[in-house]
Chain A
Amino acid sequence: MKTLTRLSKEALVALPMASLVSVFLLWPALTVVFKSFVSDSGFRLDSISRALSGTYQQSFLLSTQLSMTTAIIGGVIGFYLAVIVDRMKPSSKIRSATQAWSAVASQMGGVPLAFAFFAILGTQGIATHILRNFGIDLTEMGLTLSSFWGWVFVYLYFQVPLMFLIVSPALSAMKPSWKEGAHSLGASSSNYWLRVALPILFPVLITGALLLFVNAFSAYATVYALSSSGGQLVPLQIRFILQGNVITGEEDLGYALVTVTMGLLALAMISIQVLQRRFARWLA
């Protein structure tokens, strides 16, 4: 009797969460995976292989390219910013302002962000106007907000602060004695960074880059608002198929695109977990 009440108590506290996750996350997600491998006539791989060939292969390449580019550039800038801020005094106003602003900007994105960039760099943008007066025509140079580098420029708005937020705690967890030790053994500042700090921080930096990758890969609203030609990116291809699902057979392609995307993101997230464990060992 006692085990029974205990069991029911466990079930009772776990029930709300378990039902939320299974009904609204697992059921839909697993259905998609199932449907992309199984049709009425049994197991098949054709929709997955379609999702990985032709136009759709191009989409995955483009999305990967965009995500990697913004992860690397955003990662380097965000890391350098974190290093500069880490050197400041803990009471520094700039330090707390940077932290607060990063929290804001890392969550920004979507429609308002696209509007802000239109106002400055769109065809009617103020910077576009000023540069035109100096004889520089951004549109003629192909540097518009609906081009690849335009997207990169806008994505950095949330990628840089996200990297900053990921790396900052790791930087402040670095023990000063490591630096003192390196210096007393005759290491120069660049020696310390190359041989001590960067190897220790390596797992964190890769974690950050991977997370930025995942973040960019799943971003939808920003690029949707920025350009119609963003239709080439995976999330917008998925939308296209989802809304045009009157054509039979195309649904399966949508399921396959989602399955491949989730597989890719799962790979990145699993790597993050492994790397985090490694960094935790350093700090222990």
Chain B
Amino acid sequence: MKSKFVSNIFAIFFGAALVSYFFLPLLAMGRFAFQVTPVINLTWDNLFEGWKFDSITRALLNPKVLETATLTGGLTLLTIFITLLALLPIATFVEVARPGWKPWLTAVTILPWIIPPVALVVGVAATFRPFAPWFLSNPLSLSFFYAIWMLPFSYRAIAGQLSMIGAKTLFEASQSLGASTLSFFFKVLLPNIRNSLTVATLLIVAAVTGEFTFAALLLKQTFPVYLIDLQSEDVRSGYALALLVIVATAVLLSFVTSSLRKRGGQFNAIGV
């Protein structure tokens, strides 16, 4: 009994330490962004003085922020479009008609783990730069690499639900009722996997909003890349905006986990 008590106490301490580890940096970030008192002059007495929210308004009204956020928004939409266009036909086909292909498809979608962004960028520079420089000069070209990079996650979100709803049975049923393949796809399949489409979409939104490696190395000024510049120009605005990104990502991903839990799934962090 006694040892149980000790292990419970230990667990509580452990939990408290983890909570501080995860949230104190965010609180400190918030203080930095919204309190004008420099750290050096900070004491317990003036802790509640000098709080101002001008930094976030300044950040949001910054034309460069607007411009880079628009680019990142466009990249997000394009990435979602490319992902769905590439993934939906083959994932459905494999589930309905070629279950034997599944291990191959799974293996392909794991490849981005082996070829991380920084490695892929070197390859991209070696191939696209000499053959199609016009392609890389358009910042929207990043979306193709983003779609690849998110493949482990987007594939698992969609494939998981396809097998759960019994896509094969649904297909046979709709065929025997005289539906064409296309009307099966649009009228039966898509409405049934709406949940996983939402999940895949939100994961892409969260990831593209924070993606730094591809954009920075290919010299494209997306929103996360600009965040570093902004921080060196106007520290408090940079911090305020970075905090806003973290909070927005947290809200998005909590929505993902809760909608996954509703269908009995769990967040697949690994895509393996």
Contacts and interface: CB of A to CB of B under 8 A. Distances in A.
Given A17-B90, A211-B270, A105 B28 contact: no
Interface of A: 10, 12-14, 16-17, 20-21, 23-25, 27-32, 35, 77, 80-81, 84, 96, 99-113, 115-117, 119-121, 124-129, 156-157, 160-162, 165-166, 168-169, 207, 211, 214, 217-218, 220-221, 224-225, 235, 238-239, 242-243, 245, 251, 254-255, 258, 261-262, 265-266, 269, 272-273, 276
Nearest to B22: A105
Say what secondary structure dominates the interface of chain A: helix
18 contacts: A20-B144, A28-B124, A29-B123, A32-B119, A81-B18, A84-B15, A103-B257, A105-B22, A109-B210, A116-B29, A120-B28, A157-B21, A162-B269, A169-B266, A218-B119, A220-B116, A255-B122, A258-B119
Say what secondary structure dominates the interface of chain B: helix
B184 to A, nearest CB: 13
Contacts of B77: none
Contact of B145 (A24, A30, A116, A225): A24
Contacts, number: 237
B90 A13 contact: yes
Contact of A127 (B28, B114, B120): B28
B267 A103 contact: yes
A162 B268 CA distance: 10
A262 B90 contact: no
Chain B CB count within 10 A is highest, among A13, A105, A116, A224, for: A116
A242 B210 CA distance: 22
Interface string B239-255: 10011011001100110
A276 B24 CA distance: 36
B89 A16 contact: yes
Contact of B269 (A17, A96, A103, A119): A103
B25 interface: yes
Contacts of B246: 108, 112-113, 116
A21 B212 contact: no
B257 A29 contact: no
Nearest to A20: B86
A220 B213 contact: yes
Contact of A165 (B21, B31, B42, B270): B270
B115 A29 contact: yes
Contact of A100 (B24, B25, B98, B254): B254
Given A17-B90, A100-B258, A120 B24 contact: yes
Contacts of A117: 25
Interface in B8-52: 11, 14-15, 18, 21-22, 24-26, 28-29, 31-32, 38-40, 42
B261 interface: yes
Interface residues of B, number: 82
B126 A31 contact: yes
Contacts of A238: 118-119, 122
B148 A20 contact: yes
Contact of A124 (B39, B144, B216): B39
Contacts of A254: 122
A272 B85 CA distance: 29
Contacts of A121: 25
A21 B269 contact: no
A272 B272 contact: yes
A243 B238 CA distance: 26
Which 5 pairs show the lowest CB-CB distances between chains A and B? A28-B123, A218-B116, A165-B269, A221-B212, A120-B28
A172 to B, nearest CB: 9
Nearest to A164: B269
A109 B209 CA distance: 12
Given A21-B111, A111-B242, 18 more contacts: A17-B86, A17-B87, A20-B86, A27-B127, A28-B122, A32-B119, A81-B18, A101-B250, A104-B253, A108-B210, A116-B25, A126-B32, A127-B28, A217-B116, A220-B117, A235-B213, A265-B113, A273-B272
A263 to B, nearest CB: 9
Interface in B184-243: 206-207, 210-213, 216-217, 224, 227-228, 231, 238-239, 242-243
